Structure 1
Amino acid sequence: MEGEGDGGSPDIPAKPGNRVLQEVVFDITRDAIHANIRDRDTTVVFTYAVTRGDDTKHSAKLTVKVKPIPPDELAQTVLKLNEANEATRVLDLTRFTGDATAHVGVWAFITAPYPVWLRFLGRTKDNVSHEHLLFNGAGQSKVNPTWISTGKIEYPLPRTYLNGLGNGTTLKMEFKAAVSLSKVEAKALSFPLVEYIVNTIEIPDQYPLPILTEATGTGSPVTLAPLNAQNGGTVSVAFSPMYTTDKIKVTMVGTSGLGSPVIAEKNGLAGGVVTFDIPKTAIAANIGKANKTFTLKYEVTRAGVTRSSLILTVTVTPIPVSALPQVIINRVPHNGLLDLNTITGNPLAAVLKWPFIATGQRVWITLNASGHEPLPVLTNYPILSSELNGLTNKPVSRDWLQKIPPDDPISVEIKVTLDGSADVSRAVSFAPTTYKVKRVPTVDRTDFSNYDWNEWRNVGADGALIKEGTNIYWRSISVPNRLPRLSKRYGYFNHISIKTIEISCDYRHEFFANDTVFRVITFPGRATYDSPTFPYSPTWRNMKFTVSGPSINGSFSVDVYIQNLTGNSTSIDNIVVTIL
């Protein structure tokens, strides 16, 4: 067997041949194999010689390639500093005093008393090489039986060496094990390097509170008035000492989604203060109709070790109602009159820009009036990018407004979810706008031209249309024991509350005075309203009567009622019924 030196080419004693088996087996020792293992491939050549009498014959050569032990196999040997954090790979010198303890486990082919080498490769604060040879392959730097039986050896790494390491530098553990008794390091097996980041700066268990610049108060909690942060907020992180290698991450936890934004990590600054921006969308998402809260904290990662700050609780107060715009319809101010007589088509609602307005916020605008179904103008409406200066030209149903009695107020309400939620229960209510409505009156005119009765009819007696020149009018005709009456029923206002009815006509007594009146009867309920008696007039004269009473939400009739039996005729023309 011809291999590496130092036991890799052992003398193998001769054996007699075996006539029965026709073969001879020779054992190769573990040490011989071990001696041929390197960090590279090696070659071992096997031959044998047969001697019969005085004649010796040699065999052909068998060449065997010996492969290195795989690195992942060698990496299973525990190689560490006990004081280091194996999870973060950080050796924090501020966390212990005195020496560190180097720990080396066992490996395949470990043999006593083979030499070992353990070298520490570090850098100073000035980035100068800083090394320490803990095991040097000589003297006691060798495997012993206790090492093998306990599965480890532990040995102190002097504090004097550790104190020379620079903060943030890399410390490497380099371990080598001889494969024989040779003290030549170059022939030893090299194990994978183990690396640590060195920290020499004390890391606090907890960092101080962050500061929200726009908030008021000291410590935690603090209060944020939203109008102080209309362009967003600023978080200030300050502690000492702060290093440019520090990694600082701020976390804001508030309303889910926009209210808990991801804030980019920053490096520390030599001045000891780092600021972080909170977007205004995050502030807006944490504004409600009552107080809401969010929290701020930061984490500092230094030399692989992460520590958190104290938690700052921020109470966000509602936006004052006085700072929120009202809905305005057709530029009519709050407490104004919406005069439908001056408005063509549907009136238009508008809202000025409000604090924190943003694309995607949801809006509800609703009109309310007592006794009427609410009128939704906008429902869960998303703000468009073109509407960041406010809403304009949102149609309001003219038909709905036309149903509102003149003295009844309407309230225009607006709600907005500043976090963009479609849940109206999370919306902020702005101040409502109050209006009264002046409706377009319904005017019914009857002049009997072309003998058109326009749905008026005789009741209780008789009457006829008389033509006098070009004019046509109605005249009562006396029937014994019956009272002439001209009547019309108005039944198409069932969904409009009516409070005022104005009636006028031209009249003339043909002979003498009689008790002629206007009579209005409302249904249901049959409330009756009579005008004063028409003054005697032998010539054409105008008579007007206004009924202003409780709201009418049904039908009514208008009569020209002649209340005596004298037989004196009354002529009627140009009847006008105006409904407000």
Structure 2
Amino acid sequence: MNNPSVSLTTDDLPAPFIQESPISTLLNPRDVRNNLTFVAPYAGIQVDDQISIRWAGGSGEGSYTSALSPVGSARPVIRRLDKDLVTFNFGRTVTLSYSLVRGTAPAVVSQPLLLYVLPVAQADLPRPFIPQASDGGEGQVLNVSALSEFTLRINAWLLERTGQPVWLRLRGTKVDGSAFDVRYWQAPENVIADEFNRFGFYERNYPAAPLQGLRNHSALNLRFSAGLQRSQDESFAQVFAERNYIVMTSASATPVIRSATGADGQDIPEGADTRHTRITLSGSARAGEDVEVYDEARLLDTVRAHSGLWQLELVDLAGGGYVFTAKVSNDSAISAPWRLNVVLQDLPLSIREAPDNGRLDPLAATQSLTAVLLYDMLPDDRLRVSWIGAAGTLPQGSHTTNTLIAGATKPREVPLSVSVVPFNLGKKVSVTFTYERGLSPPVTSAPFFLMVGDLPASVFIPPVFTQANGTTLLDLRTVTNGATLQFGRWPHIAAGQKLWLDLEGTNTEGEPHERQLWTGDRNSVTRSWAINGIFNLTVLFSDLSDLADGSTLTLRLHVNLDGVANRQTAIAFTPREYTIVTGD
């Protein structure tokens, strides 16, 4: 029973908070894309107390006060709020509080929480697109020459709701130079309906003829906005990031690679080996076309076809195989490949762990990284070797050795620090050596260029719950004191590498259950983990207890090997999935 002799005051009732927000005074709309949960953290709440919660924000649908209701037995007291409260308060400070009624005493209002709701970020909003464009609409080229109709589509966005109106406007340049400016979507005709929630996108088809009247190679701009607060006044709508296409209204001839020549002017047949690191590719294309030349998926350069012919000189090629192709800018047609293999031997400088003298497999350099010097050295030469990371690489990705005496053994091997490797994955580095002889000035070698490969996904083994005993079943009855999540090592693991860890599942109410346990700005590999190759994390039972029986729990781990807290450049481990068992 309640004790009427104990009176409450505002000082007794701590301020509420939003469960999904990691920063109590700052709310990112992205964090509440699934749920908006109000938490009243007063530990002294009694079962017969009644509570009313209040979100004081913008007028109308931007504010909410609940009726008094029993607190129930669950602690802390939580209440689900309508996510529209966030939508109506972008860029505003709102005040959260709750009132508690005990027995016949007057209601007592808690301490307030002043919460700033961030505007929705453009990175969290999709852009409109035309699926018939290159790369399924994500590319830059829209070839309308053979289309009878085209599709305008927008995918689901953060905090979308039925009844939100949408606007979409296309702008470009017609053949005669006049402006093309057509509004394809507008309120009240275009409004998000149940089909949007069911399929996850909104789209409509239109005749392609108007787009075929645009100037060839001109820009087409798509500008989309949505009334997130369901207002049909476009001036209140949220503007999304624009998308631009290069419109192709006539077919373009596919370019051709016709020859490759070495520095000595001799032809290098397709598929042949060459010792040259400087070669010239020649080909043909329609006069005036800009031709993009690729090595596999990597763009090397863009050249103009003059009088139907083009040339591109490539220098400082690393050893290894190349697959060159050419395509016209803003077109998807690709030439036949021209393959060749650069073979470098008896070089004054090489890397032992890169036997093809051009590409370094990072798995071959986990224990050692060795520069091999073979020049007309004398035993008393004083040597230094420099590994220079790619432009933009952190300083830890470069290294210069201490000065060494050459000695009598040839070739001379110089150990380098393997710690530079993870900072340069997927990048081109250069290595040089400098020697000093007697009182003569230092002599620095020509750079040796090396492409550092990426680590394969298979080496990033996701963590496991030890209580699952090697199975994919996690019985929550065995983890009431916490579940042990065990992590192993991966190649080039090092202290300070940034980590992200998320749990994703479904709760007993059928709603998403998400927990962000680690973020790169707070969590990183520890020194003991890097040394011992194992790390255990206790996951609280409270982070798992709401999961539904038979549901799937997914573990998502990311790591950034260069120590930068940027999830977008982090490596994603293969997700680990468990089936939840509760015994219910």
Q: TM-score range by the shorter chain?
A: 0.3 to 0.5
TM-score after normalising by structure 2:
0.35
RCO (CA 8 Å, sep 6+): is it higher in 1 or 2? Answer: 1
Q: What TM-score comes out, normalization by structure 1 length?
A: 0.35
Rg comparison, structure with higher value: 1
